[in-house]
A and B are shown apart, each in its own frame.
Chain A
Amino acid sequence: NAGVTQTPKFQVLKTGQSMTLQCAQDMNHEYMSWYRQDPGMGLRLIHYSVGAGITDQGEVPNGYNVSRSTTEDFPLRLLSAAPSQTSVYFCASREFPLNRVLFSPLHFGNGTRLTVT
């Protein structure tokens, strides 16, 4: 049981390049999400998904796209990288109870450290 796996661990991009950050979980969690963590800003939600085929925007969605074709995978795409997207990106997942009210603990991957020059 690997939990939440993120690849790559490190990435350097030039301004304007595109790339996809991969996230996979093997816990059959319905809910998956992407956060970015910046010094002094804390963790901010980029996009999230409550099941295959369903995605929604979080607090800072601009410049990022997501899709959820399977329960296991939730890739994050940077369309045209900018220096402001230099950050550490975390994928997280949790169970999503049918009552849609009670949260369950959030499980995080180890992050992708992205630098855009």
Chain B
Amino acid sequence: KQEVTQIPAALSVPEGENLVLNCSFTDSAIYNLQWFRQDPGKGLTSLLLIQSSQREQTSGRLNASLDKSSGRSTLYIAASQPGDSATYLCAVGTLQGGSEKLVFGKGTKLTVNP
């Protein structure tokens, strides 16, 4: 059974710092990995999607990497801003019993202090 872990559960950094969020998964047979952002009381917003054949994806100040063999992904946020404060979740896409499935981590709550 695929399990997705995100450590730490919470992270507090000063504004301007570069930071890395971690995601690990137990089964390397994945089709893709997505990083989402969730603001309080809101739904999830997809930030980056990495297909299994890719090593990384970039969008603005965000860079996500994928290492299937080690079961790890990182989300790098450059020059963090208070507006980056949110919970960040990763999810791996798999096929289970012929059905597509996303398995989510429980998230890392990021606070960027002015």
Contact = CB atoms under 8 A, between A and B. Distances in A.
A42 B49 contact: no
A53 interface: no
B93 interface: yes
A42 B43 contact: no
Interface stretch (A14-22, A62-70, A101-109): A101-109
Contact of A103 (B32, B42, B105, B107): B32
B51 to A, nearest CB: 6
Nearest to A39: B106
Given A45-B101, A90-B44, A111-B43, A104 B106 contact: no
Contacts of B101: 45, 58-59
Contacts of B91: 43, 106
Nearest to B46: A105
Interface string B29-59: 0011010100001111110010100000000
B42 A111 contact: yes
A105 B59 CA distance: 14
A92 B99 CA distance: 16
Nearest to A108: B43
B13 interface: no
A114 to B, nearest CB: 14
B43 A4 contact: yes
A56 interface: yes
The 9 closest A-B pairs by CB, nearest first: A108-B43, A105-B46, A43-B104, A108-B44, A42-B106, A103-B93, A110-B43, A103-B32, A42-B104
Interface of A: 4, 40-43, 45, 56, 58-59, 90, 92, 100-111
Interface of B: 31-32, 34, 36, 41-46, 49, 51, 89, 91, 93, 99-102, 104-107
15 contacts: A40-B106, A42-B105, A59-B101, A90-B43, A92-B44, A101-B31, A102-B32, A102-B51, A103-B100, A104-B49, A106-B46, A106-B91, A110-B41, A111-B42, A111-B43
